């Protein structure tokens, strides 16, 4: 029940029941050394008054706030909002609160966000790093402050992280195209400072190698994050001399842009040009030509990251070693890459 809102304190319960504040505190925190009858009376009084512990005071005294800071690069992006959803769910289950910060894919913003979170005395931080710099994360790491990277990581840094297996994803989707018979593969990739962009490219290129198909560097472009960038960056490739028969995109968003560019030129999907994405955003299956993509377990990434962080905080669970997780991804073949008649 959302009872009255003014602060009810241990003191009020103490006065109502006649027990000291100490006893009241112990009773409410399930400490053992309280007589059952006493505890019952106190609990009843607490309920009656609508007692709600003051987490500030609790946090100040015990230096555990039960609050986790979360920094994402863009909440409005469905990938990250799904991640946040997973984090929020896990937080509720584990009885933590989350303070959300949006870095807007900006390095200074990330730094500022972390500072605010530290000022808020959060117990730990979950962060999808911007990755245009790594000092911030390095500092956090050196300071021993508990944090977990989610969705992106630094290969060269020894930190906890929970990410999708982007390399394998890149490999799988490329192999899929090759098996479908597509030969001239292009890639409209994200900015290379982002780990997932690098890994997906690596998978892409390794798959080509495995199938003996040479990598045509003129068909690879980097830096696309949005629909618009997908359109802009794919145009030159699609209009170039050696038109690709299939385009691997950094994300579903970018794929939407590429699809638009393809149609703009008058080509059809998938007959003239196959397009594949990454993430499996909700809408990708709703397109008239549904998008082939790699499904990453978005909510699960958030859930596991949260769980990992809390485990570290509460159990001090092998605090020495870092925990690095790459979650399995899944190829979701749809029409945008299916050869007619197959």
224 binds, among its own copies, DNA, none (CB under 5 to 8 A by kind): none
Nearer Cβ to its own copies (135/155): 135
98 binds, among its own copies, DNA, none (CB under 5 to 8 A by kind): its own copies
Residue of 3, 15, 29, 132 interacting with DNA (CB under 7 A): 29
Residue of 11, 22, 44, 56 interacting with its own copies (CB under 8 A): 56
User: Considering the complex, what minimum distance in angstroms separates the CB of residue 161 from its own copies?
Assistant: 18
337: DSSP letter = G
Q: What is the DSSP string of 268-303?
A: -TTTT-EEE-SB--GGGGTSSSPPBEEEP-HHHHHH
Strand extents, DSSP E, the chain: 67-72, 97-102, 124-127, 147-150, 161-164, 185-188, 220-221, 246-249, 274-276, 293-295, 324-327, 330-332
Residue of 11, 92, 282, 317 interacting with DNA (CB under 7 A): 11
144 sits near DNA (criterion: CB under 7 A):
no
Of 332, 255, 328, nearest in space to 293 by CA: 332
22: DSSP letter = H
Residue of 23, 73, 101, 304 interacting with its own copies (CB under 8 A): 101
Could you give the CA distance from residue 230 to residue 233 in angstroms, rounded to a whole number?
6
CB 167 within 8 A of CB 278: no
Residue of 21, 116, 157, 213 interacting with its own copies (CB under 8 A): 116
- Give me the 224-243 binding string for its own copies, x by CB under 8 A, dash otherwise: ---x----------------
Q: What is the DSSP string of 80-105?
A: HHHHHHHHHHHHHHHT-EEEEEE-TT
205 sits near DNA (criterion: CB under 7 A):
no
143 sits near its own copies (criterion: CB under 8 A):
yes
C-alpha dihedral, 230 to 235 to 236 to 241, nearest 10°: 130
282 sits near its own copies (criterion: CB under 8 A):
yes
Residue for token pair 């399995």:
328
127 sits near its own copies (criterion: CB under 8 A):
no
Residue of 10, 127, 137, 305 interacting with DNA (CB under 7 A): 10
19 sits near DNA (criterion: CB under 7 A):
yes
The per-type count for the chain, helices as H runs and strands as E runs, is: 12, 12
CB 139 within 8 A of CB 115: no
Contacts of 136 (CB under 8 A, 6+ apart): 107, 110, 111, 114, 129
Q: Which stretch binds its own copies (CB under 8 A): 154-162, 178-186, 242-250, 284-292?
A: 284-292
85 sits near DNA (criterion: CB under 7 A):
no
Contacts of 246 (CB under 8 A, 6+ apart): 177, 180, 182, 184, 185, 186, 270, 273, 274, 275, 276, 337
89 sits near its own copies (criterion: CB under 8 A):
yes
Nearer Cβ to DNA (15/158): 15
Return residues touching DNA (CB under 7 A): 7, 9-11, 18-23, 25-26, 28-29, 32-36, 38, 51, 53-54, 57-58, 60-63
Which residues would be at the binding site for its own copies (CB under 8 A)? 1-6, 52-57, 59-60, 65, 67, 70, 74-78, 81-82, 84-85, 88-89, 92, 97-102, 104, 111-112, 114-116, 118-121, 136, 139-140, 143-145, 227, 253, 256-257, 259-260, 263, 281-283, 286-289, 299
């Amino acid at each position: 029940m959302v009872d009255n809102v003014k602060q009810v304190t241990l003191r009020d319960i103490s006065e109502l029941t006649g027990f000291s504040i100490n006893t009241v505190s112990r009773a409410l925190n399930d400490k053992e050394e309280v007589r059952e009858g006493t505890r019952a009376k106190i609990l009843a009084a607490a309920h009656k008054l609508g007692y709600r512990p003051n987490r500030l005071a609790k946090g100040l005294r015990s230096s555990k706030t039960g609050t986790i800071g979360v920094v994402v690069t863009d909440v409005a992006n469905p990938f990250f909002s799904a991640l946040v959803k997973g984090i929020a769910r896990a937080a509720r289950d584990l009885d933590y609160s989350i303070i959300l910060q949006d870095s807007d894919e900006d390095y200074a913003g990330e730094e500022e966000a972390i500072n605010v979170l530290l000022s808020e005395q959060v117990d730990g931080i979950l962060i999808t790093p911007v990755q245009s710099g790594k000092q911030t994360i390095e500092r956090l790491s050196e300071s021993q402050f508990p944090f977990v990277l989610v969705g992106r990581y630094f290969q060269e840094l020894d930190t906890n992280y929970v990410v999708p297996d982007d390399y394998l994803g890149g490999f799988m989707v490329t192999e899929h195209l090759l098996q479908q018979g597509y030969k001239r593969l292009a890639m409209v990739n994200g900015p290379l400072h982002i780990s997932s962009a690098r890994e997906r490219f690596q998978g892409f290129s390794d798959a080509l190698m495995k199938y003996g198909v040479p990598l045509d560097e003129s068909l690879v472009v980097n830096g696309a994050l949005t629909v618009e960038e997908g359109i802009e960056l794919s145009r030159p490739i699609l209009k170039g001399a050696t038109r690709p028969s299939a385009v691997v995109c950094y994300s579903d968003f970018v794929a939407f842009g590429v699809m638009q560019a393809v149609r703009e030129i008058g080509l059809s999907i998938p007959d003239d040009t196959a397009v594949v994405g990454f993430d499996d955003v909700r809408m990708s299956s709703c397109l008239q030509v549904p998008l082939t993509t790699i499904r990453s377990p978005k909510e699960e990434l958030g859930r596991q990251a949260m769980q990992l962080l809390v485990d570290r905080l509460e159990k001090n669970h092998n605090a020495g070693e870092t925990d690095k997780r790459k979650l399995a991804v899944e190829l979701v073949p749809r029409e945008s890459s299916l050869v007619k008649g197959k």
